[in-house]
Chains A and B, each alone.
Chain A
Amino acid sequence: MNEVKCECGHVNPHGTVLCESCGKVLEEKEKEKKLLDMRYEGSARRSQTYNKTMIDKIWNFFSSVKVGVWLIVITLIASALGTILPQEMYIPPVMPAAEYYEDQYGWIGKVYYDLGFHNLYSSWWYLILIASIGISLVICSLDRVIPLYRALKKQRVSRHESYLQRQRVFGVSKIVETDQAFTMAKEKLKEKKYNIREENGNLLAEKGRFSRWGPYVNHVGLIIFLIGGMLRFVPGMYVDKILWIREGETKVIPETNGEYYLKNEKFILEVYDKEKDNEVFDEAIDKAGMVAKNYQSNVTLYKKSGDAVAGEEANLEKVKDFEIRVNEPLKFENFALYQVDYKLNELNKMSFALTNKKTGEEYGDLTVDLNDPQDAYDLGNGYKAEIVSFFPDFEFDENGEPVTKSRIPNNPAFVFKMFTPDNPDGEISFVAIRQTIEPFGDNEYKMAFKGVDTKNVSALTVRKDLTLWIIALGGAIFMIGVAQGSYWNHRRIWLRRVDGEVWVAGHTNKNWHGLKREIDAALDGTSIEMPEDQLQKQSEKKG
């Protein structure tokens, strides 16, 4: 390997621009510049120097910040595209996505759907984009942090003249009382919390070096975050189920291996009330008509004891009572139950009276539990109603036959056979909500609708997410890294004696204004002149 030996004796890795130790400019091109490019301290970024094998080529591709920025920009644009129309998960489930987009948005919707943008964020190419950013983060960081660490570790106090001259803040003063000036400046810099190193009468004041590690710390945080996101795809790490549960119902909680059961005692919906609530809300309530105040399920959590298999009457032990509200999930083990939806007044029971159509006389009431209807209801004295068919969610199919759409009693319908002393063979009547059909001609009797009893149904999301702590850890590390890199500055001030002159140079990774003020304060009272901002001088000359 052709390493570069500097005149100060330090041996630098191949590709170094500025000597790690004394800062002398090693690369010819850099010598022509008036100001040094101080990125990564002029250290040898390995990616730039080897480019032989395929592996090196891939590596170098991802090591480039330019590629990184492009990846960020492409991801940004892609993400924006996904917000033009709602994603599939947010469209109402009224019709298949393929039809919905065209129906609602015309040809734009069709194109959007055909391009797969309705599911953009889980598309293979979006995942690859995110993954590429992840790879770029790993490689970029590795490629830069090691050389930077070396350069900062190996730096000498006495920097080469060519290095000092080419710093943005630089000045030369001819003074007599050098020692005294140095001592004073040293004291003042110490007050400003600088670490001072001295060598051959030269001085280096440095502070905030740790802010240089900020970017790498935050990249580590992001990588951990992405790993967390990736683990979500591992089976068992993540559960997302919905549990619809009626008042009074006890159901097994999905994905708990039948270990936990939940009983819904009551679902409560409250709205804001002008009488009772803060009167400043009146105007807003008037405008909106109705504003929801609370969605709440009062539940009891049970745990199965003993090892009953699924379906067996399980021995349930009460764990706790809880009021699940939005923003207040019920948590147990690794699970959390969230209030997410509800259905008010689902039909629960329907009452009828067997009635003589002519006289209007009633021969007894019967109440059908829609979740457990009986075959027949005996009303005494020879009056009886039999349920021939039951359609909890009734509709007519394409052949005009009554069928049920689901098992949920949204629109119950019955075929009753009514037995009376007058008609011992029974009369058939089809009874649905607001509709009675007598398929075999005129009946003498009818099932008169008396009333309903309803129940509320609550929908709870069952969530388990074992990746959360990794995501949180990644986020926390990222924030620490960003704060470290943003709110602290790495500042260095060099004072060097050169043939009876004092050379002052300063460098900071950002906030030059602050650096100049500190140099100003440190040199105030000494006979050393305030160095100039060479960049500013250049631009003033130009302007």
Chain B
Amino acid sequence: MVSLSSNLLYTAFILYLIATVFFAGSIKDKNRTNRGPNRWASIGLWISIIGFIAQLGYFITRWIAAGHAPVSNLFEFTTFFGMSLVGAFIILYLIYKTPILGVFTLPVALILIAYASMFPREVSPLIPALQSDWLHIHVTTAAVGQAILAVSFAAGIIYLVKSVDQRKQSKQRFWLEAVMFGLVCTLGFIIISSTFSAMGYKAEFNWIDKNGQEAVLEYHMPALTGPNEGQLVTDGKFKPLAEMPPIINAKKLNTVIWSLASGIILYLVLRAVLRRRIGEALQPLTKNINLDLVDEIGYRSVLIGFPVFTLGALIFAMIWAQIAWTRFWGWDPKEVWALITFLFYAAYLHLRLSKGWHGEKSAWLAVIGFIIIMFNLVAVNLVIAGLHSYAGS
């Protein structure tokens, strides 16, 4: 059952990849009849739907195998997030019929799923705090909310790729490229970790932690930054270039450095091949789109996603926290970042409604909103870690 489940996930991943190609093809297709979607786009849509169903199959089979909804660790949550994003895209596509949305949403979903698989994938049993129906109610609603909000990020990027002037130097051009670079770095992380994991790289260190205790640490990438007073135990492995003080998590820092380095290389390669900025290279894809429509898609997804997010990530969360942790609110970092996300989108809506922040400003806000969501998903679990830290590992 578990292997069937992972095969379905793999299938879904491949299908999303193919669908992206078709959506991109539909834009390049010169024989566009009228303004509606062409055959390339319809095929792309169908492939996305089949992929979505495959991933749903993954979700259901894994649920059956584990006996609980597969949203209990970072791998499961992030794949579910990716699946919801595809689901949200399909719905918005059916409303607005814009293939370009697929070209930008599906890759984000792909990166999310690939990123998820970098974390431990085994089916884990539930610790007592998680043994509740609220696990799947709260987590899935929150993920769906975040996914719908993430569509506004894709729409925001499309808007910016089209509207930012690539010919003259500006803050906008710089930051748009910075966002692209961020995405490339995530890709770099995925590539570098899967490479080393395929090679089966393992290096063990004995080291002294911040409480002065001896501990063992296993690296899965060559250690550039070694742990405090680290002694390499495994023979023939790379010796660290620098040793970190005990309060810094040398292993995580090492991963960050590797990801950044591979991100930079990948980015430079892309620049060399494309002979221009990524934002500039993507611009032709957005040639025929209507900015107002993209703006509306972005706004619409915030409007649909915000209530779902609030319900899942705050209201349901509070109900469950009251039952499991005795209080509905406890200023746990994850809770605080859910509140920050809520406040941010509340500010977005107020700025839009009352201050007339439409178009480009709104698109930038959507991008920042998504960064906050990703921060909550990645950094809060891996770096800050509080009560929700079991979601990390």
A and B, direct touch (CB closer than 8 Å): yes
Binding site for B on A (CB under 8 A): 37, 39, 65-66, 68-69, 72-73, 75-76, 79-80, 82-84, 86-87, 89-90, 104-106, 121, 215, 240, 272, 277-278, 280-281, 283-285, 287-288, 291-295, 325-327, 329, 336, 338-340, 461, 463, 465, 468, 471, 475, 478-479, 482-483, 486-487, 510-513, 533, 535-536, 539, 543
16 A-B contact pairs sorted by A residue (CB < 8 Å): A66-B355, A72-B343, A72-B347, A73-B347, A105-B247, A280-B123, A281-B124, A283-B123, A291-B125, A329-B326, A338-B326, A463-B327, A482-B310, A535-B292, A536-B292, A543-B291
User: Knowing that A65-B350, A327-B131, A468-B328 are A-B contacts, what are 8 other residue pairs whose CB atoms are under 8 Å apart, sorted by A's residue number?
Assistant: A72-B343, A90-B332, A104-B210, A278-B125, A281-B124, A295-B128, A340-B326, A535-B292
Cα(A192)–Cα(B290), bound, Å = 27
B56 contacts A by Cβ under 8 Å: no
Interface string of B334-363 (1 = CB under 8 A from A): 001101100110110011011110000000
Question: Do residues A461 and B292 form an inter-chain contact, with CB atoms below 8 A?
Answer: no
B229 contacts A by Cβ under 8 Å: no
Question: Do residues B340 and A475 form an inter-chain contact, with CB atoms below 8 A?
Answer: no
Chain B residues near A68 (CB-CB < 8 A): 350
Chain A interface helix/strand/loop/mixed: helix
Question: Do residues A486 and B307 form an inter-chain contact, with CB atoms below 8 A?
Answer: yes
Cα(A58)–Cα(B333), bound, Å = 34
Q: Which of B123, B293, B328, B331 contacts A513 (CB 8 A)?
A: B293
Cα(A295)–Cα(B327), bound, Å = 18
Cα(A427)–Cα(B155), bound, Å = 87
Question: Do residues B326 and A463 form an inter-chain contact, with CB atoms below 8 A?
Answer: yes
Cα(A336)–Cα(B327), bound, Å = 11
Q: Which residue of A lies closest to B323 (CB)?
A: A327
Chain A residues near B324 (CB-CB < 8 A): 326-327
Indicate whether A284 sits within 8 Å of B128 (C-beta atoms), given known contacts A76-B344, A80-B336, A482-B306: no
User: In chain B between 284 and 301, which residues have their CB closer than 8 angstroms to a CB of chain A?
Assistant: 290-293, 296, 299-300
In angstroms, how far is the closest chain B Cβ from the Cβ of A56?
20
In angstroms, how far is the closest chain B Cβ from the Cβ of A228?
10
Q: Which residue of B lies closest to A270 (CB)?
A: B128
B386 contacts A by Cβ under 8 Å: yes
Cα(A206)–Cα(B50), bound, Å = 40
Q: Which of A87, A277, A327 contacts B125 (CB 8 A)?
A: A277
Question: Do residues A39 and B128 form an inter-chain contact, with CB atoms below 8 A?
Answer: no
B66 contacts A by Cβ under 8 Å: yes
In angstroms, how far is the closest chain A Cβ from the Cβ of B338?
10
Q: Which residue of B lies closest to A70 (CB)?
A: B347
Question: Do residues B331 and A510 form an inter-chain contact, with CB atoms below 8 A?
Answer: no
B311 contacts A by Cβ under 8 Å: yes
Q: Which residue of B lies closest to A482 (CB)?
A: B307
Indicate whether A487 sits within 8 Å of B355 (C-beta atoms), given known contacts A280-B123, A292-B127: no
Question: Do residues B326 and A90 form an inter-chain contact, with CB atoms below 8 A?
Answer: no
Q: Which residue of A lies closest to B385 (CB)?
A: A86
Question: Do residues A272 and B125 form an inter-chain contact, with CB atoms below 8 A?
Answer: yes
Cα(A240)–Cα(B353), bound, Å = 41
Cα(A325)–Cα(B127), bound, Å = 12
Question: Do residues A293 and B128 form an inter-chain contact, with CB atoms below 8 A?
Answer: yes
B111 contacts A by Cβ under 8 Å: no
Cα(A223)–Cα(B128), bound, Å = 35
In angstroms, how far is the closest chain B Cβ from the Cβ of A441?
39
B282 contacts A by Cβ under 8 Å: no
Question: Do residues B125 and A281 form an inter-chain contact, with CB atoms below 8 A?
Answer: yes
Chain B residues near A463 (CB-CB < 8 A): 326-327
Cα(A280)–Cα(B5), bound, Å = 12
Cα(A295)–Cα(B339), bound, Å = 30
Question: Do residues A539 and B310 form an inter-chain contact, with CB atoms below 8 A?
Answer: no
Q: Which residue of A lies closest to B163 (CB)?
A: A543
Question: Do residues B322 and A72 form an inter-chain contact, with CB atoms below 8 A?
Answer: no
Q: Which of B129, B300, B340 contacts A326 (CB 8 A)?
A: B129
Question: Do residues B120 and A483 form an inter-chain contact, with CB atoms below 8 A?
Answer: no
B53 contacts A by Cβ under 8 Å: no
Interface string of B103-147 (1 = CB under 8 A from A): 000000000000000001011110111011000000000000000
Q: Which of B1, B343, B351 has the most CB of A within 10 A?
A: B343
In angstroms, how far is the closest chain A Cβ from the Cβ of B350?
5
Q: Which residue of B lies closest to A66 (CB)?
A: B355
Question: Do residues B210 and A486 form an inter-chain contact, with CB atoms below 8 A?
Answer: no
Indicate whether A291 sits within 8 Å of B326 (C-beta atoms), given known contacts A83-B333, A121-B331: no
Q: Which of B123, B311, B343 contacts A79 (CB 8 A)?
A: B343
Question: Do residues B123 and A284 form an inter-chain contact, with CB atoms below 8 A?
Answer: yes
Q: Which of B95, B124, B328 has the most CB of A within 10 A?
A: B124
Chain A residues near B307 (CB-CB < 8 A): 479, 482-483, 486-487
Indicate whether A69 sits within 8 Å of B326 (C-beta atoms), given known contacts A106-B247, A284-B125, A479-B307: no
Q: Which of A82, A272, A535 contacts B331 (CB 8 A)?
A: A82
Chain B interface helix/strand/loop/mixed: helix
Closest 4 CB pairs of A and B: A326-B128, A284-B124, A283-B122, A65-B354
Q: Which residue of A lies closest to B341 (CB)?
A: A76
Question: Do residues B296 and A471 form an inter-chain contact, with CB atoms below 8 A?
Answer: no
B179 contacts A by Cβ under 8 Å: no
In angstroms, how far is the closest chain A Cβ from the Cβ of B155?
13
Cα(A294)–Cα(B299), bound, Å = 45
Cα(A511)–Cα(B304), bound, Å = 11
Cα(A106)–Cα(B210), bound, Å = 11
Question: Do residues B128 and A280 form an inter-chain contact, with CB atoms below 8 A?
Answer: no
Chain B residues near A329 (CB-CB < 8 A): 323, 326
B2 contacts A by Cβ under 8 Å: yes
Cα(A280)–Cα(B64), bound, Å = 11
Chain A residues near B174 (CB-CB < 8 A): none
Chain B residues near A533 (CB-CB < 8 A): 292
Q: Which residue of A lies closest to B67 (CB)?
A: A278
In angstroms, how far is the closest chain B Cβ from the Cβ of A463?
5
Q: Which residue of B lies closest to A540 (CB)?
A: B290
Q: Which residue of B lies closest to A483 (CB)?
A: B307
Chain A residues near B346 (CB-CB < 8 A): 72
In angstroms, how far is the closest chain B Cβ from the Cβ of A60?
15
Chain A residues near B386 (CB-CB < 8 A): 86, 90
B65 contacts A by Cβ under 8 Å: yes
B261 contacts A by Cβ under 8 Å: no
In angstroms, how far is the closest chain A Cβ from the Cβ of B202?
14
Q: Which residue of A lies closest to B304 (CB)?
A: A486
B208 contacts A by Cβ under 8 Å: no
In angstroms, how far is the closest chain A Cβ from the Cβ of B213?
14
Interface string of B60-90 (1 = CB under 8 A from A): 0000011100000000000000000000000
Q: Which residue of A lies closest to B314 (CB)?
A: A475
In angstroms, how far is the closest chain B Cβ from the Cβ of A175?
26
Indicate whether A512 sits within 8 Å of B327 (C-beta atoms), given known contacts A79-B339, A83-B336: no
Question: Do residues B347 and A39 form an inter-chain contact, with CB atoms below 8 A?
Answer: no
Question: Do residues A76 and B340 form an inter-chain contact, with CB atoms below 8 A?
Answer: yes
Chain B residues near A39 (CB-CB < 8 A): 353-354
Chain A residues near B66 (CB-CB < 8 A): 278, 280-281
Cα(A293)–Cα(B130), bound, Å = 10
In angstroms, how far is the closest chain A Cβ from the Cβ of B138?
12
Q: Which residue of A lies closest to B96 (CB)?
A: A513
B382 contacts A by Cβ under 8 Å: no
Question: Do residues A285 and B291 form an inter-chain contact, with CB atoms below 8 A?
Answer: no
Q: Which of B125, B343, B347 has the most CB of A within 10 A?
A: B125
Chain B residues near A461 (CB-CB < 8 A): 326
Q: Which of A37, A104, A292 contacts B128 (CB 8 A)?
A: A292
In angstroms, how far is the closest chain B Cβ from the Cβ of A15?
17
Question: Do residues B310 and A479 form an inter-chain contact, with CB atoms below 8 A?
Answer: yes
In angstroms, how far is the closest chain B Cβ from the Cβ of A66?
7
Chain A residues near B292 (CB-CB < 8 A): 512, 533, 535-536, 539
B318 contacts A by Cβ under 8 Å: yes
Cα(A125)–Cα(B306), bound, Å = 28
Question: Do residues A486 and B306 form an inter-chain contact, with CB atoms below 8 A?
Answer: yes
Cα(A421)–Cα(B349), bound, Å = 91
Chain B residues near A339 (CB-CB < 8 A): 128
Question: Do residues B347 and A291 form an inter-chain contact, with CB atoms below 8 A?
Answer: no
Cα(A387)–Cα(B290), bound, Å = 91
Question: Do residues B343 and A76 form an inter-chain contact, with CB atoms below 8 A?
Answer: yes
Question: Do residues B122 and A287 form an inter-chain contact, with CB atoms below 8 A?
Answer: yes
